[in-house]
Amino acid sequence: MNIRVLTEEDYDTIMEWWTRWEWPVLPRHMLPDNGKSGYMVEKDDKLIVCGFLYLTNSKVAWLEWIVSNPDYREKDRKEAIEMLINHIEKDSVTLGITHILSLTKSKSLLDTHEKLGWGVDRTPSYEIIKKIQ
């Protein structure tokens, strides 16, 4: 497996994944660096999973919109997700980030984060957003 930085060309693929998983499709302007501040895990030219890293003006970053290829059915999907999260952690350290925040409704992602040493609050919470322009 290989991990790389997202490219502009990845956006169409990610939009398709979000649609197929019945998630809202985010416009590029809502993604960090217009959709390029994130990572893609691939294997044998098959795209497996990606996630975005929002940087802030503090030492906290936000890992979000982790989504996987709905057609990728190999047993190493979980390994790819773990690789993505671990890589983002290591890259964040080099950027001086001390904490990473992430939100999810996925039990599988909660379990993976917990396995990797993240503090997981299993109390339900709500995502709140308002478009102001």
Looking at the 3D structure of the chain, how many domains does it have? 1
Task: Convert 95-120 to b/e letters by CB count within 10 Å (16 or more is b).
Answer: eebeebebeeeeeebbebbeeeeeee
> Is residue 133 domain-resident?
no
> Is residue 130 domain-resident?
no
- The DSSP result for 81-93, as a single string, is HHHHHHHHHHHHH
Range of the domain at 79: 2-115
Domain at 96, CATH number: 3.40.630.30
> Is residue 39 domain-resident?
yes
> Is residue 72 domain-resident?
yes
Sign of the C-alpha dihedral, residues 72, 74, 78, 81? negative
Residue 96 CA to residue 48 CA, distance in Å, equals 28
Flag whether pLDDT at 128 surpasses 90. no
> Is residue 124 domain-resident?
no
> Is residue 132 domain-resident?
no
> Is residue 86 domain-resident?
yes
Flag whether pLDDT at 125 surpasses 90. no
> Is residue 123 domain-resident?
no
Question: What average pLDDT does this structure show over 19-26?
Answer: 94
Flag whether pLDDT at 126 surpasses 90. no
Taking only the tens place, the pLDDT of each residue in 79-92 is 999 999 999 999 99
Flag whether pLDDT at 127 surpasses 90. no
